[in-house]
Amino acid sequence: MKKLSKFVDTRIGFFTLLVVLFWFKTLFAYFTDFNLGASNIFQYIILIFNPLATTALIYSIAFYFKRARFFYPVIMGLAIANTLLLYLNVIYYREFTDFMTIATMTGYSKVNQGLSGSSLALTNLHDVFYWLDIVVIVVLMLLRVIRFDRRAIGTRLAFAFTSMSLVLFGVNLSLAEMDRPQLLGRTFDRNYIVKYLGIDTFTGYDLVKSQHIHEMRQSATKSELDKVKEFTDKHYAKPDPQMYGIAKGRNVIIIHLESFQQFLVDKKVNDQEVTPFLNSLYHSKDTYAFDNFFHQVGQGKTSDAENMLETSTFGLPQGSLFATLGSDNTFQAAPAILNQRAGYTSAVFHGNVASFWNRNNVYKNLGYQYFFDASYYDTSGDKATGYGLKDKLLFKDSVKYLQNLQQPFYAKFITVTNHFPYDLDDEDKDPNFQTTNTGDSNVDNYFVTAHYLDQSLAEFFNYLKKTGVYDHSIIMIYGDHYGISNSENPSLASVLGKNADNWTDFDNTQLQRVPLMFVIPNSGGHGYISHTYGGEVDVLPTLLHLLGVSSKRYIQFGTDLFSKEHSQTVAFRNRDFITPRFTSINGTIYNNRTGKEAKLTKKQRQQMQRARDLVNQELSLSDSLNEKNLLRFYHPKGFKAVNPADYNYSNGLKRAQRIEKKKGNKSTSIFSQNHNRSTVNDYSTDAPEQNHSSTDSNRIKITNPDANNK
Ligand code: GP9
Ligand code: MN
């Protein structure tokens, strides 16, 4: 013991102590918080050794500082930074089942406000272990139990440590390459890099890559655009004449159902429907619904869904396109297309801060004319949960802005209440609705917030009907992505009548289904539930065609879901994919009917290979389009490039009213058509908060650089 403490009192001893502690902490994370899927003894050996080389390499930097008063702070600083990186990844992984990239980290700074609520919910009691050693060491140093070693390490010895670590790293890398050739060359899964090389290497590697993207953008040429254009032209699917233009000239009301999965539709728990209102829409003859519609988001989640729906291009393989590239990317998106082709006014209603997912910048590039963010609403006291204004209040309090917009409008409502961690105040809970009892509070609460969201929708629809807006609108409803993450799916299994013990990756993929419905009142009552396979990237061409706007001239990766030529191969962001008969996960093909590994005929194998090629091609081309910002070179007929400087989201209401005034009796707003009378009183909600005075502190902080003096 004494010997050990003496050793720690030397610099090499102290270094060794810190390296070993961090090594253990990383292993702790590997085996408790991460799920890296080591499948054989060789992979386990690599996994166990991979933190060692980089940790030693990083900490050896401190040896070059000769003076004790530099050496100790430097090595402790490195240890703390390294722990912080590990810990942030642990938190991030719990929600995204993925690791943080430089892109997400820099994106984080733009969105961290909104994330703070759920980050706290993502902490775990055992997290103490990640920080305990640091605290103990600092205390021991302060108490002089660990003493500073004044004897410097010679530069040559320091160099020897660095070189040793590099050699060790080389060994690590070659072992990894033996097991998985071209590990770094064709990165498709961050899990693999961490599994083989550790988090530090992954982060360093990612840093180099983001620098690369920066350079790529600068050197991109128009010929690269031609390749993309050739692909999307070839895959264009022409509209079904029966459907083309059936919603022409109508308002488009988009309802973004936060974290809402298809399994909620028609689901009963304790003999009660979770979402009775949505179910009634789903089965209505006015509704065209899809039950094999999949979310395709990556790390950008909501923002990826938005990007796909607005642009029919994919999100990025890492990070959020909105947060990382969105500020200066060129888009040819729905709001701009519909404004220029069919005179639509565009607006987003969202009760969270404008900076979340960098929306305040990106929406300008998409061509959104109005953005009613949290600063337009009273979000004080109990009116908001962690991600913003509660849904019932969002819909109700939006009406005073919506009614002044010129029709037709393209208006998107982004809900938030059904967001992890599915918190809802008791006052908002339906006393007649009894949720599941799975023992996993996320799963149990998920049904409660979904039920609330459903009620809020019913109230909004009542308003639309009462004012007659309903009759000349098309209402598009979709779920953006999963609510229950893969790691929690086993808790959900029993609710779905499945067995948690043999839950598979195939089952996870099945749960990537989200709702998509087009409600088109007075359109003949031919609505039905379509079993066509499709994904979020297909929505824009579908919608444009329903509105009678041809999508042919634009670069879009999706195809019209109603078209006979629609491609039913649905690409997921990690390059897995699903077709009506088979699902490809990590290279394994499953039979959709049995959920087991498929035995393919030669012909089927060829078909699946073609599907795989298609998926790889479309994802790569979409990435090239967005990463290199190629749309800046593309000028489709009649499309005027969007200039973000033309947009400003402050004083939205005043701006709309000014337009109303200027148009006089030509104004088409709901307000004008209602003989210049407000329709606010046509809205009724049972939300208990509406009359609460705001005594409590706010649950979200409003800081929108753009919006003042409403
Ligand atoms: C926040 C909301 C949530 O404004 O849209 O985004 P998510 O966490 O689901 O990506
Ligand atoms: Mn979301």
252 lies in the same domain as 213: no
Q: What is the mean pLDDT of residues 389-415?
A: 98
189 lies in the same domain as 251: no
Q: How far is the CA of 303 from the centre of ligand 2 (A)?
A: 7
366 lies in the same domain as 512: yes
Distance of alpha carbon 380 from alpha carbon 691, whole angstroms:
11
Single residue among 166, 191, 217 that ends a domain in this structure: 217
Distance of alpha carbon 151 from alpha carbon 239, whole angstroms:
78
Would you say residue 660 lies in a domain? no
The residue ranking higher by pLDDT, 13 or 299, is 13
Q: How far is the CA of 301 from the centre of ligand 1 (A)?
A: 7
Of 83, 201, 203, 302, which is the active-site residue? 302
In this predicted structure, what is the pLDDT of residue 51?
A: 96
Would you say residue 635 lies in a domain? yes
Radius of gyration over alpha carbons of the chain, in Å? 27
| Residue 481 marked ligand-binding | yes
Residue 230 in tokens: 């050739």
Would you say residue 669 lies in a domain? no
Tell me which residue has its CA closest to atom 6 in ligand 1. 302
Single residue among 167, 195, 217 that ends a domain in this structure: 217
Using an 8 Å Cβ cutoff, are 400 and 393 in contact? no
pLDDT, tens digit, for every residue of 300-347?
Answer: 899 999 999 999 999 999 888 998 788 889 999 999 999 999 999 999
Q: Is the pLDDT of residue 153 over 50?
A: yes
150 lies in the same domain as 250: no
pLDDT, tens digit, for every residue of 634-686?
Answer: 999 999 999 998 999 999 999 999 999 999 999 999 999 999 999 999 999 99
Residue 279 in tokens: 């179910």
In this predicted structure, what is the pLDDT of residue 96?
A: 67
Could you tell me the pLDDT band of residue 113, with boundaries at 50, 70 and 90? very low
283 lies in the same domain as 302: yes
Distance of alpha carbon 426 from alpha carbon 424, whole angstroms:
6
Could you tell me the pLDDT band of residue 299, with boundaries at 50, 70 and 90? confident
In this predicted structure, what is the pLDDT of residue 36?
A: 83
**Measured from the CA of 259, which atom of ligand 1 is nearest?**
9
Tell me which residue has its CA closest to atom 9 in ligand 1. 302
Could you tell me the pLDDT band of residue 702, with boundaries at 50, 70 and 90? low
Q: How far is the CA of 136 from the centre of ligand 2 (A)?
A: 39
Distance of alpha carbon 383 from alpha carbon 694, whole angstroms:
9
307 lies in the same domain as 438: yes
Distance of alpha carbon 34 from alpha carbon 459, whole angstroms:
42
322 lies in the same domain as 199: no
Neighbours of 303 (CB within 10 A): 27
86 lies in the same domain as 38: yes
| Residue 258 marked ligand-binding | yes
240 lies in the same domain as 185: no
Q: How far is the CA of 343 from the centre of ligand 2 (A)?
A: 29
pLDDT, tens digit, for every residue of 116-127?
Answer: 456 677 888 999
Q: How many domains does the chain have?
A: 2
Using an 8 Å Cβ cutoff, are 377 and 396 in contact? no
Adjacent-strand bridge partners of 477: 255, 517
The percentage of residues in the chain with a pLDDT greater than 90, rounded to a whole number, is 82
Q: What is the mean pLDDT of residues 141-156?
A: 93
Could you tell me the pLDDT band of residue 705, with boundaries at 50, 70 and 90? very low
Please state whether the peptide bond connecting residue 421 to the residue before it is cis, i.e. omega within 30 degrees of 0.
yes
Ligand 1 cavity residues, CB under 6 Å: 114, 301-302, 352, 356, 387, 414, 416, 419
* CB proximity list for 304: less than 8 A, separation 6 or greater: 296, 297, 298, 314, 315, 320, 321, 322, 481, 573
Would you say residue 53 lies in a domain? yes
Single residue among 160, 192, 217 that ends a domain in this structure: 217
Question: Pocket of ligand 1, candidates 322, 357, 701: which has the most ligand atoms within 8 Å of its Cβ, to mutate?
Answer: 357
CATH code of residue 634: 3.40.720.10
Indicate if the alpha-carbon torsion angle 154, 158, 164, 170 is positive or negative: negative
Which of 315-319, 386-390, 601-605, 685-689 shows the lowest mean pLDDT across its residues?
315-319
Question: Pocket of ligand 1, candidates 97, 257, 299, 419: which has the most ligand atoms within 8 Å of its Cβ, to mutate?
Answer: 419
Adjacent-strand bridge partners of 412: 254, 348
| Residue 302 marked ligand-binding | yes
Which of 53-57, 95-99, 243-247, 480-484 shows the lowest mean pLDDT across its residues?
95-99
Q: How far is the CA of 370 from the centre of ligand 1 (A)?
A: 19
**Measured from the CA of 301, which atom of ligand 1 is nearest?**
10
Which of 84-93, 236-245, 281-290, 500-509 shows the lowest mean pLDDT across its residues?
84-93
Highest mean pLDDT among 28-37, 147-156, 701-710: 147-156
Q: Which ligand is nearest to the CA of 322?
A: 1
Question: Pocket of ligand 1, candidates 113, 356, 699: which has the most ligand atoms within 8 Å of its Cβ, to mutate?
Answer: 356
In this predicted structure, what is the pLDDT of residue 326?
A: 87
In this predicted structure, what is the pLDDT of residue 211?
A: 83
Could you tell me the pLDDT band of residue 415, with boundaries at 50, 70 and 90? very high
With b meaning 16 or more CB within 10 Å and e meaning fewer, what string describes 663-673?
eeeebbbbbbb
In this predicted structure, what is the pLDDT of residue 275?
A: 98
Tokens 């085996």 -> residue: 31
In this predicted structure, what is the pLDDT of residue 190?
A: 73
Adjacent-strand bridge partners of 255: 413, 477
Tell me which residue has its CA closest to atom 3 in ligand 1. 302
Distance of alpha carbon 165 from alpha carbon 150, whole angstroms:
24
Q: Is the pLDDT of residue 446 over 70?
A: yes
In this predicted structure, what is the pLDDT of residue 706?
A: 47
In this predicted structure, what is the pLDDT of residue 104?
A: 67
Q: Is the pLDDT of residue 111 over 90?
A: no
In this predicted structure, what is the pLDDT of residue 40?
A: 85
> Does 302 qualify as catalytic in the annotation?
yes
Neighbours of 10 (CB within 10 A): 14
Would you say residue 659 lies in a domain? no
229 lies in the same domain as 212: no
Would you say residue 657 lies in a domain? no
Range of the domain at 84: 2-217
Q: What is the mean pLDDT of residues 591-610?
A: 97
Distance of alpha carbon 618 from alpha carbon 461, whole angstroms:
37
Would you say residue 656 lies in a domain? no
48 lies in the same domain as 108: yes
232 lies in the same domain as 171: no
Would you say residue 668 lies in a domain? no
Please state whether the peptide bond connecting residue 335 to the residue before it is cis, i.e. omega within 30 degrees of 0.
no
Q: Is the pLDDT of residue 114 over 50?
A: no
The percentage of residues in the chain with a pLDDT greater than 70, rounded to a whole number, is 94
